């Protein structure tokens, strides 16, 4: 699969790739994976194109797998391109950190009328790097948010630990747990040390159209279902015009994608690979698969009404 067009920050104002679908007037901004044309990104594009949507993948920059002061204005540029192409409706999809980013972008840009957030948090995270410094896979930024707007970092929940303790704590938490990576306790500690402030919360009530929150209780990266419940509560208390669905499950892990999307990505040995990544996927493989099948069905129903 090859994009029809690639975009650069210098020339176009954002880093992305455009995958059109013939005769479609709906398009998705896709933020899956770490780059605009890696396996997960292209799998998301293929899944959405089979459902009838054009796609524009986005990422911070080429081979930059961290998120630090990512300018929200880039979404404005991407939306402008899609509107110039004549798309009548624009959606956004993200997972994990980009699930958070999808919610933030949708809260700033009312042209986004369908927001799919897999395993999101309900706050702006502190910025982080994946540059291998001192042998650490990931490290916090220096007074940086994950995102910025008009040249200023958005207020964020600071991580409980600094470099190099940050990655050491994640390794310590993951070791012996049966998970490739686990950081839920670190995020709990972050909120203990710095109770979440209003300015750090994602303003989900500003999102237009429809939101789909998707998460599982057995997520070991962070307590996404708790975060989703807090966003539900926020919507119940704040005036808003959006509608929303909550797809919350006991089992499904952080990697909670539709079953058909997973099969596109990992046509062989998906059960084995997920079991190596997450202990719950190994112990509760049947239940996790049932979750993914249900998400597949419900998302298709939701999207058909958009």
Distance, in Å, from the CA atom of 80 to the CA atom of 16, rounded to the nearest integer, reads 13
Summarised one tens digit per residue, pLDDT across range 117-144 is 999 999 999 999 999 999 999 999 988 9
Average pLDDT over residues 89-111: 98
Domains in the chain, start-ordered, CATH in brackets? 5-304 (3.40.50.1820)
pLDDT at 53: 97
The string of DSSP letters for 217-275 reads: TT-SSS-HHHHHHHHHHHHHHS----EEEEEEESS--S----HHHHHHH-SSSHHHHHH
pLDDT on residue 2: 87
Burial 272-284 (b: 16+ CB within 10 A, else e): eebbebbbbbbeb
At 152, the pLDDT band (50, 70, 90 cuts) reads: very high
> What are the start-end ranges of the H helices in 58-211?
73-84, 97-108, 165-174, 184-193
How many angstroms separate the CA atoms of 155 and 145, rounded? Answer: 7
Examine the pLDDT at 156 and tell me if it is beyond 80: yes
Strands 16-19 and 5-7, sheet pairing: antiparallel
- Find residue 291's DSSP bridge partners: none
Burial of 271 (0-12, 13-18, 19+ CB in 10 A): middle
260: which 2 tokens? 């058909």
* pLDDT-above-70 percentage for the chain: 100
CA 78 – CA 59 distance, rounded (Å): 11
Structure tokens at 5: 């067009």
Q: Which two tokens stand for residue 261?
A: 């999307």
CA distances from 17 to 8, 75, 103, 217 (A): 9, 13, 21, 33
Rounded Cα distance between 25 and 54, Å, is: 8
Residue 201 CA to residue 268 CA, distance in Å, equals: 40
Average pLDDT, the chain: 96
Predicted confidence (pLDDT) per residue in 183-209, tens digit? 999 999 999 999 999 999 999 999 999
Average pLDDT rounded to a whole number, residues 74-95: 98
pTM: 0.97
The string of pLDDT tens digits covering residues 16-67 is 999 999 889 999 999 998 899 999 999 999 999 999 999 999 998 877 778 9
Residue 23: per-residue pLDDT: 84
Task: Tell me the two tokens of residue 255.
Answer: 């990697």
pLDDT digits (tens, 9 = 90+) for 255-273: 999 999 999 999 888 888 9
DSSP 8-state secondary structure symbol assigned to residue 155? P
Q: What is the pLDDT of residues 226-260, one digit of tens each?
A: 999 999 999 999 999 999 999 999 999 999 999 99
- Whether residue 164 is preceded by a cis peptide bond, meaning omega within 30 degrees of 0, is yes
H/E run at residue 57: strand 54-58
Asked if residues 235 and 244 have their Cβ atoms less than 8 Å apart, the reply is yes
What percent of the chain shows pLDDT beyond 90?
92
Q: Give the pLDDT score at 264.
A: 95
Question: What is the rounded CA–CA span in Å between residue 63 and residue 219?
Answer: 26
Q: Please tell me the chain's helix, strand, coil percentages from 3-state DSSP, rounded to the nearest 5.
A: 40, 25, 35
């Amino acid at each position: 699969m090859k994009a029809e067009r690639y975009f650069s920050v210098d020339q176009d104002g954002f880093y992305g790739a455009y995958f059109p679908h013939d005769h479609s007037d709906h398009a998705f901004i896709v933020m899956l994976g770490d780059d605009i044309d890696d396996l997960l990104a292209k799998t998301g594009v293929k899944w959405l194109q089979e459902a009838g949507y054009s796609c524009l993948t986005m990422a911070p920059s080429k081979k930059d797998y961290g998120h630090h002061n990512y300018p929200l204005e880039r979404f404005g540029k991407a939306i402008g391109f899609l509107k110039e192409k004549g798309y009548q409706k624009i959606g956004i999809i993200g997972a994990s950190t980009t699930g958070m980013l999808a919610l933030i972008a949708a809260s700033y840009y009312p042209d986004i009328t369908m927001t799919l957030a897999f395993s999101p948090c309900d706050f702006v995270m502190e910025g982080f790097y994946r540059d291998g410094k001192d042998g650490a896979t990931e490290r916090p930024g220096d007074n940086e948010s994950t995102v910025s707007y008009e040249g200023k970092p958005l207020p964020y929940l600071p991580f409980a630990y600094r470099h190099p303790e940050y990655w050491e704590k994640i390794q310590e938490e993951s070791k012996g747990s049966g998970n490739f990576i686990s950081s839920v306790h670190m995020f709990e500690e972050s909120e203990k040390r710095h109770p979440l402030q209003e300015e750090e919360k994602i303003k989900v009530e500003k999102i237009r159209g429809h939101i789909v929150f998707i998460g599982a209780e057995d997520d070991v990266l962070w307590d996404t279902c708790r975060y989703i419940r807090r966003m539900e509560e926020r919507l119940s208390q704040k005036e808003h015009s959006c509608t929303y669905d909550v797809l919350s499950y006991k089992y499904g892990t952080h990697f909670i994608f539709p079953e058909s999307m997973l099969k596109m990505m990992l046509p062989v040995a998906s059960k084995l690979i997920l079991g190596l990544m997450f202990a719950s996927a190994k112990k509760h493989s049947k239940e996790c698969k049932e979750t993914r099948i249900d998400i597949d069905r419900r998302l298709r129903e939701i999207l058909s009404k958009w």
